[in-house]
Each structure stands twice: as C-alpha cells, then as structure tokens.
C-alpha cells in the first residue's frame, strides 16, 4: 500500500472517530446510560459509513457524475432504506442479548422510521459536504492547471523556432542521404510527419482517433528501429470506432515509457504489447512490457511525463476514467479505461 493510500485511510479513520465521539456527546441524555449511548451510536456509525462509501464509490461517480440523476436518487434512497431495515434486527438483538431487555412489544416499524430519518440525514449531510469540498478542490486544481498552462504557453512562445526553417532543414538532410539508404530516408520522413502532427494538428482539445493512431504507429516504427530486434513489439488497434475523438498525445507518454524501460533478458521472452480498442462508448488501452530486473532497479526516472498525463486525465475525464498500473521486477502493465468517450 502506498503512502498516499495509508494517509487517506488514516484521514478516514480519524473522521469517523471524531464523528462517533460527536454523536455520543450530542445524543447522550438522562434516560440512557453512557454504555447504551455508545453502543447505539456505534451501530448508527456502521450503517452511515456503509451508505457513505456506497455513494462515494458507486452512486456519485457512476450515476450522478454521468447525469443519471433518477438512478442516483433511487440508489441513494434504496441504500438508506436497506440499512434502516437492517438496523431493526440489529437493534432487537442488541437490546435482548447485550442490554438484557425482554421487550415483548418491540416496535419494528418505529425503529425503522427513526433509523431511516437518522441515517438519511447524516448520510445526506456528509455526502453533500464531501461534494462541496471536492468541488472546491476541483476549482483550485483547475485554476492551478490554467496558470501552469499559461506559463507553459509563454515558455513555448519564447523558445519557439521557425517551423518552416525546420522542415526545410529536414528536406535538405533528406536530399543528402544516399538513395540506397532507404531505412534512413524512411525514418527521416516518419520523423518529419510526426513533427508536423505535433506542430500543426495538436493545438486542439480533441482530434480524430485515426490521426492519433497514425502518430502512434509512426512513433512505434521509429522505436522499433532503435531497440534490439529480438524484442517483440505488437500493436493492435483493430476494434476502434473511427468516430471517436481523443485529446492529442494522451496515450503516447505511456508508450514512450514502455520503450524506455523494456529490457532484454536471455532467460525469457522480451516484448511490448499494446492494445487499443473501443467497447460500448468506452476506450480501452492496455500496454505490457517486460523489464530487465537489474536495469529496473538501477535506472531512475523523474516520472514527470506519467505524472503530467495522469493530471491531464484527471482534468479531462474526472470520475470518467480508471488508470491501473501494476509493476513487478520483470514486467510492467498499464490499463486505462475512459468511459463515455
């Protein structure tokens, strides 16, 4: 478990502990002894927490954020109702076996009603507070990204070269390469096409998937000429909806990372497998590469490219993507799913 996950779990534990003590303090009264108050509020804590994590993990990202408002409210009320009903037998068992109360006239309907009101109120309050906090964080994050974007654009303008001069230079180099050296001439043409794409076609928010695929194919072609020929490289993008549009260069960093860290080991097959497809308006991207364990331990990377791409995904597809990265000493696997692309 990463340090970030540990800190998040710790924050959650502290929050629920403080909420528990708050409820015990607020709802204590003269008719209940402290031990009964503590027990009752703990039961409520469990059911409220179940509702909160259900809404946070499923209802909000998969229903509310996708504008399925009716389904969200139905799921919200259904979960509150289910936990309120579940608290009825729990309350009966606690009263009978823990507090030793033989309540012949146990009012199940009244317990359900009180449970529903309490659970609904606190879940609604906590979830609403979470959404407000997330909204504020999102706004702060967007403002920060905008500032960084403005700064990057300014730096780019300061360092911008003349594209016409660059392409004229490439054409001059191409003309001086011996015609018998087809590989070098082909690589230069591929590089020129990639550069033209970056300079002239990527200044948009979304671009046709076919143009992005062409850039990826050109990049893979160049990289295959650089790495050991015994490393197997397989790129599949057959099941793609051609009407899809994607942010320019959103996937290339992950592919660059695979070529950068793929190692050659005589003991096992060395390969890079890249798969891109679309299913039910979702874009599925998978990349796998083997590694040399010794190289993986000795090489160090700033990870800036991966971190920047993660931030782009968070900004462009908040709650609409899943990025799963798994790394061992011998291989690296990345799976990215973008929903409702």
Residue with tokens 């970030």: 4
| Contact partners, residue 324, CB within 8 Å, separation at least 6 | 334, 335, 336
Single out the residue of 126, 97, 92, 127 nearest to residue 112, CA to CA: 92
Q: Per-residue pLDDT averaged across 187-213, rounded?
A: 88
Q: Per-residue pLDDT averaged across 238-264, rounded?
A: 89
Of 35-39, 257-261, 300-304, the range with the lowest mean pLDDT is: 35-39
Of 9-18, 66-75, 204-213, the range with the lowest mean pLDDT is: 9-18
Mean pLDDT of the chain: 82
Instruction: Kindly report, residue by residue over 48-99, the tens digit of the pLDDT.
Output: 889 999 998 899 888 988 889 999 999 999 999 999 998 888 877 777 766 6
pLDDT at 30 over 60: no
Beta-ladder partners of 278: 283
Of 108-122, 143-157, 307-321, 324-338, the range with the lowest mean pLDDT is: 143-157
Q: Give the start-end residues of each E strand in the chain.
A: 207-208, 232-236, 245-246, 271-279, 282-290, 321-327, 331-338
Q: Where are the domains of the chain?
A: 3-154, 230-338
pLDDT at 34 over 50: no
pLDDT at 298 over 60: no
* Residues 336/321, Cβ–Cβ less than 8 Å: yes
What pLDDT is attached to residue 207? 93
192 to 160, 161, 197, 199, 253: CA distances (angstroms): 17, 15, 9, 11, 19
Instruction: Kindly report, residue by residue over 113-167, the tens digit of the pLDDT.
Output: 988 998 899 899 989 998 998 889 888 888 888 888 777 776 665 555 556 666 7
| Residues above pLDDT 90, as percent of the chain | 28
Crossing angle of helices 304-316 and 108-159, in 10° steps, is 120
CATH architecture for segment(s) 230-338:
2-Layer Sandwich (3.30)
* Phi-psi sector, 265: left (phi>0), alpha (psi -120 to 50), beta: beta
* Phi-psi sector, 147: left (phi>0), alpha (psi -120 to 50), beta: alpha
* Residues 222/190, Cβ–Cβ less than 8 Å: yes
């Amino acid at each position: 478990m990463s340090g970030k996950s540990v800190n998040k779990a710790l924050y959650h534990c502290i929050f629920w502990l403080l909420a528990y003590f708050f409820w015990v303090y607020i709802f204590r009264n003269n008719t209940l002894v402290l031990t009964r108050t503590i027990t009752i509020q703990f039961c409520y804590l469990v059911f409220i927490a179940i509702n909160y994590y259900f809404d946070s993990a499923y209802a909000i990202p998969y229903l509310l954020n996708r504008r399925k408002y009716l389904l969200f409210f139905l799921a919200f009320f259904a979960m509150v109702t289910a936990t309120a009903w579940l608290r009825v037998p729990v309350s009966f068992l606690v009263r009978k076996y823990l507090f030793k109360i033989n309540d012949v006239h146990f009012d199940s309907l009244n317990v359900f009603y009180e449970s529903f009101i309490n659970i609904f109120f606190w879940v609604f309050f906590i979830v609403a507070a979470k959404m407000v906090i997330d909204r504020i964080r999102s706004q702060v994050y967007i403002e920060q990204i905008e500032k960084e974007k403005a700064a990057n654009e300014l730096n780019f303008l300061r360092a911008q070269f003349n594209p016409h001069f660059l392409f004229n230079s490439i054409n001059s180099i191409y003309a001086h390469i011996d015609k018998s050296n087809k590989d070098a001439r082909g690589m230069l043409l591929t590089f020129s096409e990639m550069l033209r794409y970056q300079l002239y076609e990527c200044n948009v928010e979304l671009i046709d998937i076919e143009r992005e695929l062409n850039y990826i194919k050109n990049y893979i072609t160049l990289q295959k000429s650089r790495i050991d020929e015994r490393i197997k490289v397989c790129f599949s993008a057959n099941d793609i909806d051609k009407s899809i549009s994607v942010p320019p260069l959103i996937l290339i960093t992950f592919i660059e990372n695979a070529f950068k860290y793929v190692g050659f080991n005589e003991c096992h097959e060395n390969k890079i497998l890249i798969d891109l497809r679309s299913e039910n308006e979702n874009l599925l991207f998978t990349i796998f590469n083997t590694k040399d364990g010794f190289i993986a331990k000795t090489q160090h990377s700033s990870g800036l490219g991966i971190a920047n791409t993660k931030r782009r995904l968070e900004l462009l597809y908040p709650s609409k993507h899943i990025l799963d990265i798994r790394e061992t000493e011998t291989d690296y696997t990345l799976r990215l799913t973008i929903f409702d692309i």
